[in-house]
Structure formats: structure tokens, C-alpha cells
A = this chain, B = another copy of it.
Amino acid sequence: MLDATSSYKLLIGASPGCTTSCTPAHHLARTGSVAERDDKTDDRTGHRIVPETTRRTDSLSGTRYGNRPTMKDVAARAGVGLKTVSRVVNGEPGVTPDTERRVQEAIDALGFRRNDSARVLRKGRTASIGLVLEDLADPFYGPLSRAVEEVARAHGALLINGSSAEDPEREQELALALCARRVDGLVIIPAGDDHRYLEPEIRAGVATVFVDRPAGRIDADVVLSDNYGGARDGVAHLIAHGHRRIGFIGDMPRIHTAAERLRGYRAAMEDAGIPVEDAWMSLGQTNPERVRRAAEEMLSGPEPVTAIFAGNNRVTVTVIRVLAEQSRRVALVGFDDIELADLLQPGVTVVAQDSAALGRTAAERLFRQLDGGLVAPERIELPTRLITRGSGELPPAD
């Protein structure tokens, strides 16, 4: 068992149900027939288990487990002082080649590896940054995460990341756990809307940058897409192609991006002088069931919408499915680009944001905070791109 005291558990959060809410597995198509291989599999798990040839080496030997050699051990073996070993390990000058060789031999012989925990304790900086996002498995966050990692790597730092699962409490747990680890900085895709809990941390020097959505109740750097403008453009695009009854399906309104995109939708409609009807707007969870229901409702009745604006990639995917079942041709513009969107019939017109750029920009900003000391918090907005592929250019079919 991992040694986690009660208080520690409180921080990290040992919640009962690990609801992996909305992994792409849900999005992956599971239609069509399924043939399962069946070849000497374990009854219970369906796994095939093959024992490896040898037992784990040294499992019973005299080697002490979990008792690693220290610099002291290396020093003793090499017949030198403790600090000399430190010098060799860190490549500091002032060691004769001969001594260095002896130390190196001892290191190799003992399998010594410097304990970075102790190093961190002594030096104060951990050379690691934390990333709190919503769901690592969401294709939108993959590139973002990778971009943050690349920037971290370029600065010699490691990346610790965790998923909040869109739960504000879990976001806080994670962020604070990372602070307890003394990460040098924090990149946060917020789930909650009150981040005052971070104030002591920021004051203590933890660099902090928010991405995709702004921080709540504190001043902090934030890097986001132009959600309002992007949505407005997308909806205006539909209007320009003759649509007037346009539906909007988005995420829960408490999520900043969802609210902004809705605002963009309203603005575009207003600009065109089209009064928006309540039945055209549906905000809520983005699981396939709800989205499907919402879409089907908009598409039924005496005056169905002729076009749908989908508030994010998950919504778009489900709406595509629903539209594929319709006899009428309904126009669609989605927020976020989607893989293979160009190969569908028709191609899916989207308002694309560059998630990698979001991550990169945020991480760079983070390290600038770390390098250069203090600057005024800024809000950096990245433009979106309207990519027309067909679905957004369909004329209204009344």
C-alpha cells in the first residue's frame, strides 16, 4: 500500500467512484458486428496470461529493497569525501580526473542515483510544473498537454498532470496537492469559478497561468481562444448562407467557454436582426444522450431549425450522428476541429481553435513568470479559424 496518511488522502482525494466521465471510448463508434477473439483466455478477465521465463532477478537476494545507496555510500566506497561525490555527480569543477574516475566507478558499481527529493529540499526549486486539465483523454487536451510538456522540457522541467473531470473540488484538491509537491508553476484549465484558494500559493511564488477559461475571483494570467468571436463568426456564416432558424447546443452555462460561445451566437443573431427563440438553445451536459435529445427536439415540430451550431467537439460528433439519420439536409458548424471532418459527406465546417498553441503560449508565459519575476497578469486571446468544408454551406431546407 502506498503510504498516504489521512490528511494526505484528504488532499489528493480518494473519492469513492472513479467516474471516468466521457472518455473518447464513448465517442468511438461501436456499431456494426463485433467478433471477439477467443484463444486460451482467462475466464474472469478475458486476458491471456503468460508467465515470463524467469523470476524477477534478485527478488530473494541479499540486496536491500528500497534502500538505495546514498552519496555517503559512494563516498565510502570511493574513499573520498561526501562533497566530492556531489561535485562529480553535478559536474562541478575542482575534481582531479583520477578522483572523478574512482567516484564514477563507485557510482556505477552501487547503482547510485541522486535523490532529487533531497536536492529539491535543499535547492528550493523542483524543476517540475503541474497541469490541471479536465480530461486527459479528450482529444482536445492531448495536444495542449503535449505542448505544455514540450515547453517544460525545453526548460528542463517535468510535467505532473491530473484530470479534474470538470469537478471544481477535484480541481482544487489537485492544484493544492501539486503545490504541496512544490511545483514551480501551475497551468490550470479551471473547472470551478473561485480560485481564491490559490492566493497564498501565488503569493508564495508559484507561477500560475490559466488556460482555455479565465480564473475566478483572482487576477491571473489567462490564455484562451476567442470563443465569443469564433462562435459569432460561425453563426454569421450560417446566416450568410440563408439560415434564420439556427439551433445552438452547448456545454453547461457555468463553463466559461460555453457561456461565451452562446454570447457569440446571440450576437450574430442580433446583428442579423433575428429574434432568438428559447427552443433553439440547449445548454447542459455534453454526453451523447442529452445532446441527441436536444438535437432531435430542435429538428422536430412545425418550425424545425435548418442549421445547428455545435458548442464543442463532443457535441459536434453527436450532432453529426443525429443529422446522418435525418432525411432533410441540415447545416452544421461546430466549434473545435475534428479528425476526419473533411472526409465525411458533407465535410464538417468548423470553428477551429489551436489547442497546442493554447498550451504552448500558456507554458511559455509560465516560464516567463518564473524567469523574469513579476508582470501584470494578462489575458491573451488566440484567434479561431473558420474552416469551411461543406456542412456549413448547405442552404436551408424548409
**Given A34-B387, A226-B37, A229-B37, A160 and B163 touching (CB < 8 A)?**
no
How many positions in chain A have a CB within 8 Å of any CB in the partner chain? 156
Q: Tell me if A376 and B56 are in contact (CB < 8 A).
A: yes
Q: In the complex, which of the residues B41, B160, B184, B370 contacts A128, with contact meaning CB atoms closer than 8 Å?
A: B160
Q: Tell me if B116 and A48 are in contact (CB < 8 A).
A: no
Q: In the complex, which of the residues B12, B344, B381 contacts A48, with contact meaning CB atoms closer than 8 Å?
A: B381
Q: Tell me if B56 and A377 are in contact (CB < 8 A).
A: yes
> A326 in the interface, Cβ–Cβ < 8 Å?
no
Q: Tell me if A90 and B5 are in contact (CB < 8 A).
A: yes
**A12 / chain B contacts, CB cutoff of 8 Å:** 127, 153, 156-158
Q: With A and B bound together, what is the CA distance between A390 and B31 in angstroms?
A: 11
| Interface hub of A182, A203, A390 (most chain B Cβ within 10 A) | A203
> A289 in the interface, Cβ–Cβ < 8 Å?
no
Write out, one digit per residue, whether chain A residues 142-163 have a CB within 8 A of any chain B CB (1) or not (0).
1101110111011111111111
Q: For residue A386, give the distance in angstroms from its CB to the closest CB of chain B.
A: 4
Contact segment of A72-80, A172-180, A269-277: A172-180
Q: With A and B bound together, what is the CA distance between A4 and B123 in angstroms?
A: 10
**A157 / chain B contacts, CB cutoff of 8 Å:** 2, 4, 12
Q: In the complex, which of the residues B2, B38, B68, B343 contacts A324, with contact meaning CB atoms closer than 8 Å?
A: B343
Write out, one digit per residue, whether chain A residues 6-34 have a CB within 8 A of any chain B CB (1) or not (0).
11111011110010100111011111111
Q: For residue A362, give the distance in angstroms from its CB to the closest CB of chain B.
A: 12
Q: With A and B bound together, what is the CA distance between A383 and B327 in angstroms?
A: 38
Please give me the residue from chain B that is nearest to A323 by CB atom: B343
Q: Tell me if B153 and A145 are in contact (CB < 8 A).
A: no
Contact segment of A94-102, A244-252, A334-342: A334-342
Q: With A and B bound together, what is the CA distance between A37 and B41 in angstroms?
A: 55
Please give me the residue from chain B that is nearest to A32 by CB atom: B389
> A371 in the interface, Cβ–Cβ < 8 Å?
yes
> A46 in the interface, Cβ–Cβ < 8 Å?
yes
Q: Tell me if A149 and B136 are in contact (CB < 8 A).
A: yes
> A379 in the interface, Cβ–Cβ < 8 Å?
yes
Q: Tell me if A380 and B48 are in contact (CB < 8 A).
A: yes
**Given A52-B219, A153-B12, A378-B51, A160 and B162 touching (CB < 8 A)?**
no
**A371 / chain B contacts, CB cutoff of 8 Å:** 1
Please give me the residue from chain B that is nearest to A131 by CB atom: B161
Q: In the complex, which of the residues B2, B59, B117, B337 contacts A370, with contact meaning CB atoms closer than 8 Å?
A: B2
Please give me the residue from chain B that is nearest to A126 by CB atom: B117
Q: With A and B bound together, what is the CA distance between A381 and B30 in angstroms?
A: 22
Q: Tell me if A158 and B160 are in contact (CB < 8 A).
A: yes
A192-221 at interface with B (beta carbon < 8 Å): 199-205, 219-220
Question: Assuming A18-B153, A29-B341, A68-B205, what are 15 further A-B pairs, CB within 8 angstroms?
Answer: A2-B367, A3-B125, A20-B150, A25-B143, A27-B339, A31-B347, A35-B386, A37-B233, A49-B379, A56-B202, A117-B182, A158-B162, A158-B177, A160-B161, A338-B339
A-B pairs with lowest CB-CB distance, top 3: A111-B200, A29-B342, A4-B156
User: Can you report 30 A-B residue pairs in the complex whose CB atoms are below 8 A from each other?
Assistant: A2-B184, A6-B91, A12-B153, A20-B150, A25-B356, A28-B337, A28-B338, A31-B389, A35-B385, A35-B388, A36-B383, A37-B226, A39-B229, A41-B383, A48-B383, A49-B379, A49-B380, A52-B379, A55-B376, A56-B219, A56-B375, A67-B204, A113-B176, A136-B136, A141-B142, A149-B163, A153-B162, A158-B160, A158-B178, A340-B341
